[in-house]
């Protein structure tokens, strides 16, 4: 076992970790903003997979991965707005609507992806940060990634600043804490929530496209394999704070990469046990975070998942 | 008293209809600059709709308003605030997870940076005697302090008209006195105050003018100081006003004994968890007063069985029931009626028949081997409806379709018809029209007369003093020793209520531990 | 502008009409989707909804299939409906279905090749138990640690899939299967098989179980106090506690019912139509059943109808795939759309739509 662990190429693993974490990090960042606005969108998996196929298709058709990412963001936001219309305007149950989004997204993505199985997407150039990428060991780990990896890190910072420091962020949090009170102050709760939902969808779509265009990179049906659900769990793990989200995403990225490498290394543990480990660890972390003292430290938005209608 | 200045706000023929109700019917009145103007009326008289129209939350169907001599028709609260109208709601629009400063910033159009805002909050709160720490989380504040946040938020915008909706309903008498002091100071500075209340005494003490609303119409505009409480009450209710007389009774044996019950606070009171001990005798009504949020809900839950306690902490006829759940307690005769009608005492979307089953299953034998006897359940619901004059199309109506008063009559009736040994009620007449409130009080008196023990938790002091045999106050999870109601003076009650919360800087109270740190 | 106004009471008429309208709208949207795929929309709709039942060419094969496909959907959806009514969201029925099949199948294979009338009943028991145990994981975690049952039950689906895969290539692999993954075929092991009971009807024990579950659930839900408590918990959780319902016990009860029924559905499917445990034994019934439960308004007889309709889209979808080359994924998207439209139309049950001439802030 120890031989095996020392035998692994750790710097390469660390670089792979950042790559593997990016899809769930992006999706979770979007969902974090949505939940801070008081909306529980369980459709992350559906938006991710639609983003994955839309990004892949657009990337292949245009030959430019960046168009792919744009298409993925738009597709994710579009699907999210469907959820937004149902829950915010038609006041549908958020849990049911989120599930519908996932089921529909899985079906629609399979339909759209018919002709794209087994194709290689155009490669996305790595952005090698000058000078920094030359640093031994750390350089290749940290500074030789595709632009979306850096974008995700930038978004972690931006989300934190937006929520803590800007007036728009304050209003968004207020809407998530008590929609009725925010409405009484004259803020447009439904509009703010719809914007947040669309933003969450766009990021989930980006995350999906990163999966299909960069990480794998190809299109297969159901390729997100629960990444959207893990992203939802991560938001709970992070206590609705973006800094801790980064930690959580990299932790899970690490587990994924490690178990894949252990599988490849032919370790004497059943492949299936390794494959299920990310899900088991997610459940374990959820349990730890939601129980006892840890729960008190969590600051779930008070109005999370509650419907709001302005007619008082 | 400020001189009656120029007209600041005039309302002419304002009308607003909701499906089935004419909330405001051609209401006209005027408020002068620097005037404290009362809007007086029963629950449901149309006061809230009227001020919501002034504050831009409701668009009237007809009528016109002028403000500072110009036509005024705010499309939204933002426009109202821009024009110089501010409002403090009865149910605060505050965000518990956010700080005082963040809350205040949310209420402003162009707030300065938080640090500068903190300085201004400190300045305003000093000027008007409203101590506040801008950095504290609102969730940790008392009701009185939260009201201060709302007031300071309004004052920072330098309003010309300040609307206050039932502001004293969450305050102790002493806190109310301090609030009046602040309001007079404001009025002296030229700010007009539109003061909504149904409490006659405080209006006579505070206001320069009053407009009385009844069934959506303005029935009178007068100077409240020149009229007696009784005359005002008759204008408000529209009929002569006769409080139910209560014949003195000899109390029977003790049936409910509560000993050392702890009401561990949900949000945390100033002091550690207190203990509650009291006894109630058969045929007796124990009134429990105190400002909301001091453990009333927890006390009712502890009596109903939703909040289990040590077995001996609650005894029914000597038998420990503290560890029993609600159904088992009901079987023994300990029933309860919680404050929250929709969602706690009743399921809003379920029919009255189904809601009858919620508490009457065991005592009325509405199930046989687990199967619900719906015919019997429906018959029971019909009995409650008939006996307590519940206005509804029938037992098939959804609970939420009933008015507050009718639903409350049904819910209290549901418990009374089961002939409980002890009935605990929390705020039984809150938000209920006067006729229904009187009927509910009457029913509770009758229940006691038939030998049941009644525990009545309420924030309406008048109501408690009217029907309770003994009176105690719940304050920060502690209960004062109950005292006979007869001969209790308002001052004594004020002392029992523990004085003002966190107002020591002004009131000079001895208990400093609940107050926020005074801002530098 | 359109404004929503809360009805004083939920509209009974719309409660019944909403699913019908939703199906109609889904057909329209589906037709548009098929047209976009370059297929004749009318032919597609007819192939999916009409031909399996009435075409002389296909009905003989398709009609029995209807019951075969509907039975697991109905069985699972009935179980889910209790939890959904109480606000307990078990969305991992697929995992419970897999574990039920695995447990029941393992018991059956353990007896191989012995005969005996006790084997199949034991398998049924093990199937229910397997699904129940898998559902108890989110139940315990929710009651003990307040962990979201939504996320846990769903994540456990992926874990169950891995366990089934491990069984199919490992400890349950058919020793006579020439090294191919997959267990022995139970259909060829009479003591453990779930055969067609009436030839040509598709009726197997799972269909019988579903047919029994529907009226039983109706009695429990609408005539028994246990069902009343479930409905009360969903309608007003605090009122339920006031009535004496213990939330923890309710969580256990609802997850027990849904887990056991999903497990049963898995076992019947395994021992009947599927025959063997394979790597991809899971067929998505556990997820489609969520749509069935909602489409049936969480009402047992509604679920019966919804289950039959959803089974029709499966069979008609296969037919459309075969006849018109409409991809299978289109049917999946179609089913997802159905839930969307249902949720959208459902607004009319509790709200009245009013057109307004001018903007109004209330």
Average confidence (pLDDT) over B265-282: 68
Average confidence (pLDDT) over C281-299: 90
CA A216 from chain centre, in angstroms, equals 16
Task: Check CB contact of B465 with chain C, cutoff 8 Å.
Answer: no
Q: Which residues of C37-62 are buried (b: 16+ CB within 10 A; e: fewer)?
A: bebebeebbebbbebbeeeeebeeeb
pLDDT reading at C178 higher than 60:
yes
pLDDT tens across C247-283, in order?
999 999 999 999 999 999 999 999 988 888 888 888 8
Residues of C with CB under 8 A from a CB of B: 5, 8-10, 223-226, 228, 231-232, 235-236, 238-244, 246, 358-362
Task: Check CB contact of A149 with chain C, cutoff 8 Å.
Answer: no
pLDDT reading at C164 higher than 90:
yes
Domains of chain B, first to last: 7-237 (3.40.50.300), 254-340+420-506 (3.40.50.300)
* Cβ-Cβ contacts under 8 Å, B359 against chain C: 242-243
Element at B165 (helix H, strand E) = strand B161-165
d(CA C207, CA C212): 9
For the stretch B487-490, contacts whose Cβ atoms lie closer than 8 Å and that sit 24 or more positions apart, written own/partner, are B490/B173
Neighbours of chain A (3+ CB pairs under 8 A): B, C
Percent of chain C with pLDDT over 70: 97
* Cβ-Cβ contacts under 8 Å, B78 against chain A: 186
A40, A279, A294, A300: best mutation site toward chain C, by most C Cβ within 10 Å? A279
CB B37 within 8 A of CB B48: no
Task: Check CB contact of B476 with chain C, cutoff 8 Å.
Answer: no
pLDDT reading at B292 higher than 90:
no
User: Any residues with CB less than 8 A from the CB of B34 and at least 6 apart, and which?
Assistant: B2, B3, B5, B187, B188, B189, B190, B191, B192
d(CA A107, CA C331): 8
pLDDT bracket for residue B246 (50, 70, 90): low
Task: Check CB contact of B371 with chain C, cutoff 8 Å.
Answer: yes
d(CA A231, CA A24): 5
> Cβ C225–B76 below 8 Å, yes or no?
no
Residues of B with CB under 8 A from a CB of A: 56-57, 76-78, 81, 89, 92-98, 102, 105-107, 111
Q: Which residues of A88-119 are buried (b: 16+ CB within 10 A; e: fewer)?
A: bebbbbbbbbbbbbbbbbbbbbbbbbeebeee
Average confidence (pLDDT) over B44-61: 88
Average confidence (pLDDT) over A179-189: 86
Q: What is the DSSP string of A161-230?
A: HHHHH-HHHHHHHHHHH-HHHHHHTT--HHHHHHHHHHHHHHHHHHHHHHIIIIIS-SB-TTTTTTHHHH
Per the model's pLDDT, the better-predicted residue between A16 and B353 turns out to be: B353
pLDDT for A136: 72
pLDDT for C60: 84
Q: For B80-84, C20-24, C58-62, which range has the lowest pLDDT when averaged over its residues?
A: C58-62
Q: Give how far C340 is from chain A: nearest CA, Å.
A: 6
* Cβ-Cβ contacts under 8 Å, B56 against chain A: 186
CATH code assigned to A2-118+132-296:
1.10.3470
d(CA B253, CA B282): 6
Indicate the domain borders of chain C: 67-296
Element at C48 (helix H, strand E) = helix C41-49
> Cβ B97–A184 below 8 Å, yes or no?
no
pLDDT bracket for residue C357 (50, 70, 90): low
pLDDT tens across B96-150, in order?
889 999 999 988 878 888 888 988 998 888 888 788 888 888 888 877 788 889 8
pLDDT tens across C91-125, in order?
999 999 999 999 999 999 998 888 888 999 999 99
CB C302 within 8 A of CB C192: no
Angle, alpha carbons B217-B220-B224 (nearest 5°): 135
In chain C, what is the straight-line distance between the N-terminal and C-terminal CA atoms, in Å? Answer: 14
Q: For A21-30, A248-257, B373-382, which range has the lowest pLDDT when averaged over its residues?
A: A248-257
Average confidence (pLDDT) over B42-55: 84
Q: Chain A 25-44, CB below 8 Å of chain C: which residues? A: 42
Q: What is the DSSP string of B102-113?
A: HHHHHT-SSPPP
C4, C39, C147, C359: best mutation site toward chain A, by most A Cβ within 10 Å? C147
Of A177, A184, A187, the CB nearest to B96: A177
Q: Give how far C240 is from chain B: nearest CA, Å.
A: 8
pLDDT reading at B5 higher than 70:
no
d(CA B518, CA B122): 9
pLDDT reading at A66 higher than 50:
yes
What mean pLDDT, rounded, does chain C reach?
Answer: 89
Six-digit token pair at A210?
A: 């990163």
Q: For A154-163, C339-348, C352-361, which range has the lowest pLDDT when averaged over its residues?
A: C352-361
* Cβ-Cβ contacts under 8 Å, C337 against chain A: 104
Q: For B211-225, B409-423, C78-92, which range has the lowest pLDDT when averaged over its residues?
A: B211-225
Q: How many residues does chain A have?
A: 312
The top-scoring range by mean pLDDT among B87-91, B506-510, C99-103 is C99-103
Per the model's pLDDT, the better-predicted residue between B413 and B224 turns out to be: B413
B89, B95, B107: best mutation site toward chain A, by most A Cβ within 10 Å? B95
pLDDT for C232: 96
d(CA B204, CA B218): 18
> Cβ A170–B92 below 8 Å, yes or no?
no
pLDDT bracket for residue A96 (50, 70, 90): confident
Q: Give how far B408 is from chain C: nearest CA, Å.
A: 15
In chain B, what is the straight-line distance between the N-terminal and C-terminal CA atoms, in Å? Answer: 33
pLDDT reading at B514 higher than 50:
no
Per the model's pLDDT, the better-predicted residue between B88 and C350 turns out to be: B88
pLDDT reading at B336 higher than 90:
yes
* Cβ-Cβ contacts under 8 Å, B106 against chain A: 170-171, 174, 182, 185, 187
d(CA A61, CA A70): 13
What mean pLDDT, rounded, does chain A reach?
Answer: 87
> Cβ C340–A104 below 8 Å, yes or no?
yes
Beta-bridge partners for C224: B371
pLDDT tens across A218-274, in order?
899 889 888 999 999 999 888 888 888 999 899 888 888 888 888 887 777 788 888
C18, C162, C285: best mutation site toward chain A, by most A Cβ within 10 Å? C162
Per the model's pLDDT, the better-predicted residue between B453 and C328 turns out to be: B453
Q: Give how far B56 is from chain A: nearest CA, Å.
A: 9
* Dihedral angle of Cα C6, C8, C14, C18, to the nearest 10 degrees: 30
Of B81, B93, B111, the CB nearest to A181: B93
The model's pTM: 0.85
CB B253 within 8 A of CB B282: yes
Per the model's pLDDT, the better-predicted residue between A142 and B453 turns out to be: B453
d(CA A304, CA C164): 36
pLDDT for C156: 96
pLDDT for B273: 52
* Cβ-Cβ contacts under 8 Å, B328 against chain C: 244
* Cβ-Cβ contacts under 8 Å, C10 against chain B: 349, 398
Per the model's pLDDT, the better-predicted residue between C43 and B512 turns out to be: C43
* Cβ-Cβ contacts under 8 Å, C240 against chain B: 347
C82: left (phi over 0), alpha (psi -120 to 50) or beta: alpha
What mean pLDDT, rounded, does chain B reach?
Answer: 84
The 3-state DSSP class for residue C195 equals: coil
Q: Give how far A203 is from chain B: nearest CA, Å.
A: 27
pLDDT tens across A282-294, in order?
899 888 887 765 5
CA-based nearest residue to A43, from A79, A87, A93? A79
Cα–Cα distances (Å) from C184 to C112, C121, C274, in that order, read 9, 19, 11
A24, A100, A115: best mutation site toward chain C, by most C Cβ within 10 Å? A100
Average confidence (pLDDT) over A299-305: 79
pLDDT for A2: 56
Neighbours of chain B (3+ CB pairs under 8 A): A, C
> Cβ C152–A286 below 8 Å, yes or no?
yes
Element at B8 (helix H, strand E) = strand B7-18
* Cβ-Cβ contacts under 8 Å, C8 against chain B: 398, 400-401
Average confidence (pLDDT) over B36-41: 90
Percent of chain B with pLDDT over 70: 88
């Amino acid at each position: 076992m120890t031989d095996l662990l020392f035998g692994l190429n750790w710097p390469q693993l660390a670089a792979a970790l950042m790559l593997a974490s990016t899809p769930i990090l992006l999706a979770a960042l979007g969902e974090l903003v949505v939940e801070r606005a008081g909306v529980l969108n369980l459709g992350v998996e559906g938006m991710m997979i639609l983003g994955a196929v839309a990004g892949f298709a657009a990337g292949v058709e245009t030959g430019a991965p960046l168009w792919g990412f744009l298409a993925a963001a738009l597709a994710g936001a579009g699907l999210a707005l469907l959820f937004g219309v149902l829950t915010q305007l038609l006041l549908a149950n958020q849990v049911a609507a989120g599930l519908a989004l996932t089921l529909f997204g899985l079906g629609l993505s399979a339909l759209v992806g018919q002709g794209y199985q087994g194709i290689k997407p155009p490669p996305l150039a790595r952005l090698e940060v000058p000078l920094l990428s030359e640093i031994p060991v750390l350089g290749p780990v940290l500074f030789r990634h595709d632009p979306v990896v850096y974008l995700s890190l930038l978004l972690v910072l931006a989300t934190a600043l937006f929520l803590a420091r800007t007036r728009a962020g304050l209003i968004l949090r207020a809407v998530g804490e008590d929609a009725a009170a925010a409405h009484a102050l004259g803020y447009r709760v439904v509009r703010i929530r719809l914007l947040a939902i669309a933003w969450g969808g766009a990021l989930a779509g980006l995350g999906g496209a990163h999966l299909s265009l960069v990480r794998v990179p190809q299109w297969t049906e159901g390729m997100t394999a629960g990444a959207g659900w893990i992203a939802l769990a991560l938001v709970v793990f992070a206590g609705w704070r973006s800094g801790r989200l980064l930690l959580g995403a990299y932790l899970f990225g690490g587990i994924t990469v490690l178990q894949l490498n252990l599988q490849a290394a032919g370790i004497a543990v059943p492949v299936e046990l390794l494959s299920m480990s990310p899900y088991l660890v997610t459940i374990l972390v959820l349990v730890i975070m939601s129980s006892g003292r840890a729960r008190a430290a969590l600051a779930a938005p008070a109005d999370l998942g509650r419907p709001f209608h302005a007619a008082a | 008293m400020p001189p009656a200045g120029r007209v600041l706000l005039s309302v002419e023929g304002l009308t607003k209809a909701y499906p089935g109700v004419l909330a405001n019917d051609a209401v006209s009145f005027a408020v002068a600059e620097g005037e404290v103007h009362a809007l007086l009326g029963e629950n449901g008289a149309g006061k809230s709709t009227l001020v919501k129209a002034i504050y831009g939350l409701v668009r009237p169907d007809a009528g016109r308003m002028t403000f500072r001599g110009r036509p005024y028709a705010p499309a939204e609260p933002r426009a109202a605030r821009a024009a110089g109208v501010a409002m403090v709601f009865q149910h605060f629009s505050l965000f518990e997870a956010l700080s005082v400063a963040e809350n205040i910033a949310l209420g402003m159009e162009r707030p300065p940076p938080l640090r500068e805002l903190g300085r201004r909050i400190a300045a305003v709160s000093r000027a008007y005697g409203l101590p506040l720490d801008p950095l504290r989380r609102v969730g940790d504040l008392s009701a009185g302090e939260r009201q201060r946040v709302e007031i300071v938020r309004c004052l920072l915008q330098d309003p010309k008209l300040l609307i206050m909706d039932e502001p004293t309903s969450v305050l102790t008498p002493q806190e109310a006195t301090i609030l009046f002091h602040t309001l007079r100071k404001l009025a002296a500075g030229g700010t007009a105050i539109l003061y909504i209340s149904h409490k006659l005494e405080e209006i006579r003490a505070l206001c320069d003018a009053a407009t009385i609303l009844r069934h959506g119409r303005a029935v009178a505009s007068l100077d409240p100081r020149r009229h007696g409480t009784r005359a005002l009450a008759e204008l408000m209710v529209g009929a002569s006003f006769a409080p139910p007389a209560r014949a003195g009774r000899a109390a029977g044996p003790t049936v409910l004994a509560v000993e050392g019950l702890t009401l561990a606070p949900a949000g945390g009171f100033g002091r550690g968890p207190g203990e509650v001990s009291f006894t109630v005798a058969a045929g007796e009504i124990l009134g429990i007063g105190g400002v909301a949020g001091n453990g009333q809900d927890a006390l009712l839950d502890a009596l109903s069985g939703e909040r289990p306690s040590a077995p001996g902490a609650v005894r029914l006829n000597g038998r420990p029931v503290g560890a029993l759940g609600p159904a088992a307690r009901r079987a023994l005769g300990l029933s309860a009626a919680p404050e929250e009608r929709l969602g706690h005492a009743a399921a809003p979307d379920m029919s009255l028949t189904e809601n009858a089953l919620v508490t009457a299953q065991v005592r009325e034998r509405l199930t046989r081997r687990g199967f619900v006897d719906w015919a019997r359940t429906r018959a029971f619901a019909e009995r409650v409806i008939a006996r307590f004059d519940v206005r509804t199309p029938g037992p098939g109506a959804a609970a939420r379709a009933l008015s507050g008063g009718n639903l409350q009559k049904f819910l209290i009736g549901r418990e009374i018809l089961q002939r409980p040994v002890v009935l605990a009620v929390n705020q039984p007449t809150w938000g209920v029209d006067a006729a229904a409130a009187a009927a509910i009080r009457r029913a509770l008196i009758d229940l006691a007369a038939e030998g049941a023990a009644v525990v009545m938790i309420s924030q309406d002091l008048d109501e408690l003093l009217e029907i309770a045999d003994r009176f105690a106050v719940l304050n920060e999870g502690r209960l004062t020793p109950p005292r006979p109601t007869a001969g209790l003076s308002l001052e004594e009650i004020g002392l029992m209520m523990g004085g003002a919360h966190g107002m020591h800087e002004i009131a000079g109270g001895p208990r400093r531990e609940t107050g926020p740190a005074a801002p530098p | 502008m359109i404004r929503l106004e809360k009805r004083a009471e939920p509209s009974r008429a719309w409660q019944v009409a909403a699913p019908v309208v939703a199906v109609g709208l889904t057909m329209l949207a589906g037709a548009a989707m098929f047209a976009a795929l370059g297929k004749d929309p009318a032919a597609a709709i007819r192939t999916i909804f009409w031909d399996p039942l009435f075409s002389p060419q296909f009905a003989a094969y398709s009609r029995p299939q209807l019951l075969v496909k509907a039975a697991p959907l109905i069985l699972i959806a009935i179980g889910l409906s209790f939890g959904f009514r109480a606000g307990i969201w078990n969305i991992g029925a697929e995992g419970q279905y897999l574990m039920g099949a695995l447990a029941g199948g393992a018991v059956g294979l353990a007896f191989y090749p012995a005969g005996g009338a006790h084997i199949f009943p034991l398998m049924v028991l093990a199937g229910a138990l397997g699904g129940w145990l898998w559902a108890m994981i989110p139940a315990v975690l929710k009651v003990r640690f307040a962990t979201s049952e939504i996320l846990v039950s769903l994540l456990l689906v992926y874990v169950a899939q891995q366990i089934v895969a491990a069984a199919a290539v490992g400890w349950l692999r058919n020793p006579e299967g020439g090294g191919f993954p997959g267990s022995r075929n139970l259909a060829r092991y009479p003591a453990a098989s779930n055969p067609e009971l009436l030839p040509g009807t598709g009726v197997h024990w799972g269909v019988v179980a579903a047919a029994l579950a529907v009226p039983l659930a109706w009695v429990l839900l609408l005539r028994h106090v246990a069902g009343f408590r479930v409905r009360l918990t969903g309608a007003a959780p605090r009122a339920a506690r006031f009535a004496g319902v213990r939330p923890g016990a309710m969580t256990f009860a609802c997850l027990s019912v849904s887990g056991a029924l999903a497990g049963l559905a898995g076992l019947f499917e395994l021992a009947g139509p599927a025959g063997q445990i394979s790597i991809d034994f899971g067929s998505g019934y556990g997820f489609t059943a969520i749509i069935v439960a909602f489409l049936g308004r969480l009402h047992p007889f509604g679920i019966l109808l919804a289950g039959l309709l959803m089974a029709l889209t499966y069979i008609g979808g296969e037919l459309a795939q075969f006849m018109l080359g409409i991809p299978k994924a289109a049917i999946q998207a179609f089913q997802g759309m159905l839930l969307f439209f249902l949720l959208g139309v459902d607004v009319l049950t509790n709200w009245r739509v009013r057109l307004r001439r001018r903007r109004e802030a209330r």
